[in-house]
Every structure is written in structure tokens, then in C-alpha cells.
Amino acid sequence: MSFFKDLKRRDHKPAFGGLEIFKYIGPGLLVTVGFIDPGNWASNLAAGAVHGYTLLWMVTLSTIMLIILQHNVAHLGIATGLCLSEAASTYIKPIYSRMILGSAMLASISTSLAEILGGAIALNMLFQIPIKAGALMVLAFVTIMLLSNSYRLIEKWIIAFVSIIGLSFIYELSLVQIDWGQATMAWITPSFPKGSMIIIMSVLGAVVMPHNLFLHSEVIQSRQWNLKDEKIIKKQLDFELFDTLFSMIIGWAINSAMILLAAATFFKTKTPVSELQQAHQILMPLLGNHASVIFAVALLFAGIASTITSGMAAGSIFAGIFKEPYDIKDNHSRLGVIISLLIATSIIFIISNPFNGLIFSQMLLSMQLPFTIFLQVFLTSSDKVMGKYKNDRLTRITLYTVGAIVTALNIGLLVSLIF
């Protein structure tokens, strides 16, 4: 039985009082830390340094799409008791489900690569530890956390990490002059500057991440109380929406802050940024030593926290291939975690440009994303899978529109690379 299934108290009926909703905040924040990871840092800093405020609209669009997708996939977990990977293996022919889930595992490895690399870069900034040695240190720490700590404890750590990252950027933004009028227009006005397609797609892949859809459908089950009581399921769905909106808006704010910071410093001074270490060094004379240290500390926490969640997602995806829920005590879940983290760390030892590695890892996520989105829409629209909780017509249209936008952006990326 899954660790999350063990957390369910099916015979208990919660009071759902005024403060009850705060007991449901947590799963969304685990997803949030996945899209404020080091890959996002690289994508957002590149966006702000090269194009100023211009690409803020992509953060807004990506976050709106993310809210729609995460809310929908959480419904799958609540209504069926299955994560996205389990549901795919249960209801789709093996030849198709394994192809999609195999690509999701590759996306998870790409994610873990960015997370571990970001943590290693932060250690290099703070203590001059070589990147490869730092990667091994991050790998060791995260592996111990995942294999030894309970979900509840990990969730508390993640919430603390997100808080530290958010406070760090509030401090950083207090030191710079932001053109809020220009930024406000950029948040709502789509723009495609010349040569920006790779960065646009990396921002998309860094926010709407395939592994987070699998993760959310799994961890949301830690909040389930009684799958047989429709009244309680309805309350769960309502509380999940609050958790998702609250958490995704925090992520939108932090991602926006990264672009704002880069636009107000690097773009304003016409300083190109080709690596995170360089950003750290440049911030020192512009904003002072404390700002650069806080930047590195926030990056370290982002790297560690997001590596934990990417490892959990990989375990959930891999276990789901065998129609099993995530349980770190189970061999398949444990193997999925280890495969993702070890292969990602191995790749770090052979890449020559860590910053480009971060950006292209996010671009690869955006290319896998349509497969996961259309898998999710198929499952959550199925009467056989969801019963009375299947998507209504408006929800289906909305989800297919999101999938079409992501696919179109991928085609645009391919065209830009060819021509």
C-alpha cells in the first residue's frame, strides 16, 4: 500500500471549519518549488538580461496554463485515488502508456539535471566548491532526505525553502528601480522579439513542467479523507483549488521577480549573462555583497528543494508503470528516484556549459509537455476513469486549447531552430 494511501483516514470526517483549509496547503507548494527551480533561474535571468521586461507575459501565460492543468490533474488523484502514471498504465494500452511514461521519465531526468546542477552552482558561489563535487554533495543530501524522511516532514521543509526563496527576492527587488508601468504592460502583452523563441520555450518548460503533473496527482492524495463520501470529496476539490491558486500565484510572483531583477540590472546596464555564477558576481558591485550572497543562498535552497520534488516525481512515474503508487519503501518507487538522480548527476560530469545545460534542459521539458497534457485530458475526460467527476465540455475545450498552445509554441521553436 502506498505511503499516501496510509495517510488517508477514510473513516474520519473532517470538520471543515474556518481554519481547516490551511491543513490542505502543502501539495501545491511542492509543485510550486518545481517551477522556481534553478532551470527557471537560468531561463528567467536570460529572459530579463536579453529582453528586459518584454517576456514577462510568458510567465503569466505559463502560470495560467499551469493552474488549469494542475487543478485538473489533482482532480484525477482525488476522484480515483490514482496518480497520473497509475491511471495511464491502468486505462491505456501498454504500448502507448509505456512510450508516454518513458518520455516522462526522460523529462524527469532532465529536470533533476537542472535541479542538481543549480544546487552545485550555488555551492560554488558560496564556498568555491567545484561543480562536480557540489553535484555529488547535493545528490547525497537529497537521497538521504528522500529515503529516510516522511512525506509530512519533507513537505514542511519545502514550505520553509519556498518562504526563504520568496523573502530573498523581496529583498533583492527592494534594492533596484523597477519600471512598474512597463512591467505591467509586459505581463499582459505577448511579444516575440527576434531570437527569443528558445528562451520563450525554456520559460514555458520551466513553469509548466511535465513531472509536476505526475507529482501533484500523487501528493494530493495525502489530503484525502474518505473516497466514498461525495460531500467530503466535494470539499476536497474546493480546498485543492485554493491550495493550487495560492501556491501557483506565489510561483508566478517569484518567477516574475527573477525577470524584473535581471531587467533592472543586467538589461539596464547592457550586461549579458551567460552563467549563474556570473550573475552572482555582477550583482555584487551593482547591489552590494549581501545581495549576491542572498542570491546564492536562495539558489541553493531552490536547487535542494526542487531536486527532492523531481526525485519524488520520478519515483511516482516509474512505480506507476507497474500500476503501483509512490512509496519510497517500495523497490519500484525507490528505483525510479535513484535512476533519475544518478543519470542526471552523471550528465553533469560531461556537459561543458552548465548555464546552457540549464536552459536546454527546460526546453526539452516543453517538448515533452504536449504528450503529458493530452494524456491527462484523455484520462480526466473519461467516464470510465473519472465517473461523475469527468471533465465537462467547457473544461475539455479549455484543456485542449492549452495543449494546442503548447504544441504550437513547440512547432514555433522547431521552425526557429531550422530557419
In-domain check, residue 300: yes
- Summary mean pLDDT of the chain: 80
Could you tell me if 237 and 73 are in contact, meaning their C-beta atoms sit under 8 angstroms apart?
A: no
Report d(CA 412, CA 325) in Å as an integer: 37
In the chain, the number of structural domains is 1
pLDDT of residue 374: 92
Burial of 412 (0-12, 13-18, 19+ CB in 10 A): middle
DSSP 8-state code for residue 22: G
pTM above 0.85, yes or no: no
Q: Which residues contact 344 (CB under 8 A, 6 or more apart)?
A: 109, 110, 111, 112, 113, 115, 116
Report d(CA 43, CA 63) in Å as an integer: 15
Report d(CA 183, CA 118) in Å as an integer: 27
Q: Which residues contact 24 (CB under 8 A, 6 or more apart)?
A: 223, 236, 239, 240, 242, 243
pLDDT of residue 12: 45
Q: Which residues contact 165 (CB under 8 A, 6 or more apart)?
A: 36, 254, 298, 301, 302, 305
Q: Which residues contact 249 (CB under 8 A, 6 or more apart)?
A: 63
In-domain check, residue 119: yes
Low-confidence spans in the chain with pLDDT less than 50: 1, 3, 6-19, 21-22
Report d(CA 162, CA 154) in Å as an integer: 12
Q: Which of 355, 366, 349 is nearest to 414 (CA)?
A: 366
Q: Please list, residue by residue across 344-355, b when 16 or more beta carbons sit within 10 angstroms of its beta carbon and e when fewer do.
A: bbebbeeeeebb
Report d(CA 189, CA 198) in Å as an integer: 19
In-domain check, residue 35: yes
- CATH code at 277? 1.20.1740.10
DSSP 8-state code for residue 390: S
In-domain check, residue 8: no
For 147, the domain range is 13-418
Q: Which residues contact 80 (CB under 8 A, 6 or more apart)?
A: 87, 385, 386
DSSP 8-state code for residue 266: I
CA 31 vs CA 73, 188, 207: distances in Å: 12, 24, 10
pLDDT of residue 14: 46
In-domain check, residue 233: yes
Q: What is the pLDDT of residues 31-72, one digit of tens each?
A: 776 667 676 777 788 888 889 999 999 889 888 988 899 889
pLDDT of residue 121: 87
In-domain check, residue 65: yes
Provide the 3-class DSSP secondary structure of residue 270. Answer: coil
243 Rama sector, left if φ>0, alpha if ψ -120 to 50, beta otherwise: alpha
pLDDT of residue 7: 46
pLDDT of residue 1: 45
Longest pairwise C-alpha distance within the chain: 62
In-domain check, residue 2: no
